[in-house]
Amino acid sequence: MKKLKSLSSFTKISTVLLILAIAFSAFKADYFEVNKQLELFTGVFKEVNLYYVEDTEPSQLMEDALNGMLKKLDPYTVYIPESDVEDFKMMQTGQYGGIGSTIRKVGDRILVSDPHEGYPADKAGLRAGDWIISVDGKSMINKSTEEVSRVLKGTPGSEVELVYERNGVKKTLVLKREEIQLKSVPYYGMLNENTGYIYLTSFTNKASQDVKDALLELQKNPNLTQVLLDLRGNPGGLLSEAVNISNIFIDKGVEIVSTKGRLKDVDNTYKTLRSAIDTDIPLAVLIDGGSASASEIVAGTLQDLDRGIVVGERSYGKGLVQQSHPLQYGSQIKITIAKYYTPSGRCIQAINYAERSEDGSVSRLPDSLRTEFKTANGRSVFDGGGVTPDIDVEKEDASGILISLVNAGHIFDYATVFKNKNETIAPAGTFELTDAQYEDFVTYLSDKHYEYTTSTEKKIELLAKIAEDEDYSDLTTDITQLQEKAHRLKGDDLHRHKDQISLFLEQEIVGRYYYESGKIRQSLKGDPIITSAIETLNNQEKYKQILAIAEN
């Protein structure tokens, strides 16, 4: 039976390879070489599956081979097996059938981390911090988040039985799955009496409509005079939605982006197709190192057309376009087909995956090799390294103790404890931990384990090694005293970094009461990039100077 199974898989895969070979012949000049390599691959695959000393798993061998081949290209060209296609579609649409909750693994168990407001998990009373014990009678202990997510998802209207644990007590729920539509704009609102804010997390097929709706709602406020579009941490998505979102602020008939690839049929120019919602309101686009792809199209285009200022940190630098193609047996392949260029003519791709060092690694394009381009008003912008902000704002680095507390789950867990003790809190954006509440958190940590090494400790350790290598034994006592003093100072890090830790703790606590939108609103409090953007928009003379807009 094993051999018959191998032959069946081999027949299917041979068919796939033959179809690919025929497809290649339509546009590939060296078809003979392509066909030759396909025959060699087919031969090796056949011989291994028929004669290898141990039983083989043809499907896994093929998947590993495909992934190994694609790994040589770029990280965005990937094979999507049938089992992952639904997740891939969800990334494009933000839509799936399920209970509406994010989960994460802690130890050998699965934790509810964020029930989405108004969906089955929330309506049934599941909370962040609840442990998922079983689903439909099957234990979820030692399961991965992917495995648990797969059984929680299903056809809208179908039921799923869930056993969860809270405060040591197990309870059973029967939930009816619904169609879940994740919001690409989970929060928008007024930050002050005249500043509107829109937070866009992804470029799904409804993203532009969500941004448009948010802006129209903000425009109902007669005091609105300026807008922030926050693309920080947004990894991108559909190119068409990047064009449509740009169209909200750029009028009809303007080139937004162009694509160029090896094949002529992927060369396209994308222009705005509709009248804009608002071409005049002062605009600031917020970016950081997590803003990529479609986010960079929007930020780079609005910058190139001098439609608004870009504030924050340099973006990721992904100037590549992918296209998905269906394969046999329900699988797909997503292929990088082109590079994209913003209106000034620049491509912001930071890494050339075609050029690798001997060990296979790739590196970013150095600033010295970036080429200068000009915006509509003649400002200098550069290619090859992401979008550089008009106003660069450095964020404070997270302290070692904060990183340790987050990674150990103590921030998350204390928020659960806080929620159990406090029925209500102040509205999102205004909530602040009192000194007494922070000290309660410090007390909570007294028997908790977390480790971290400070930069000072690392430097002293390096000094000790150098002194040992250079045989400066007389320094041993001094170095030991430094280490002891650094350790004593480290003991007060919970108070030394109180402001930074409090901000993260407040966000997690607010999320327990006001869901994702509340957590986002709370995170904006004291945000240096937000502050810088508002200050610049409030100073219209500075705003126009940055955009090189001549006074009338």
Phi, psi dihedrals of residue 173, rounded to the nearest 5°: -130, 145
Q: Which amino acid is at 204?
A: T
Residue 283's closest CA among 358, 351, 231, 337? 231
Report the half-sphere exposure of 295 (CA within 13 A, side-chain side).
Answer: 30
Cβ proximity of 126 and 115 under 8 Å: yes
- Cα dihedral 436, 531, 203, 81 in deg (nearest 10): -50
Q: At 274, which helix (H) or strand (E)? A: none
Tokens of 204: 């799904």
Terminal alpha carbon distance of the chain: 83
Residue found by looking up tokens 């799936």 in the block = 96
Question: Residues 423, 427, 433, CA angle at the centre, nearest 5°?
Answer: 70
Gap between the Cα atoms of 519 and 200, Å rounded: 14
Residue 311's closest CA among 548, 544, 540, 528? 528
Q: Distances in Å between the alpha carbon of 552 and those of 494, 509, 540?
A: 54, 50, 14
Gap between the Cα atoms of 150 and 327, Å rounded: 22
SS3 track for 18-31: HHHHHHHHCCCCCH
- Which one from 293, 344, 517, 523 is the annotated catalytic residue? 293
With the C-alpha atoms ordered 378, 380, 381, 383, is the resulting torsion angle positive or negative? positive
Cβ proximity of 248 and 278 under 8 Å: yes
- Which one from 114, 130, 288, 304 is the annotated catalytic residue? 304
Residue found by looking up tokens 């780079």 in the block = 300
The DSSP bridge partners found for residue 80 are 332
Cβ proximity of 175 and 120 under 8 Å: yes
Q: Which amino acid is at 246?
A: S
- Please tell me whether residue 57 adopts helix, strand or coil conformation: coil
Residue found by looking up tokens 């001094």 in the block = 478
Tokens of 189: 């609102």
Q: Is 318 among the catalytic positions? A: yes
Which residues are tagged catalytic?
293, 304, 318
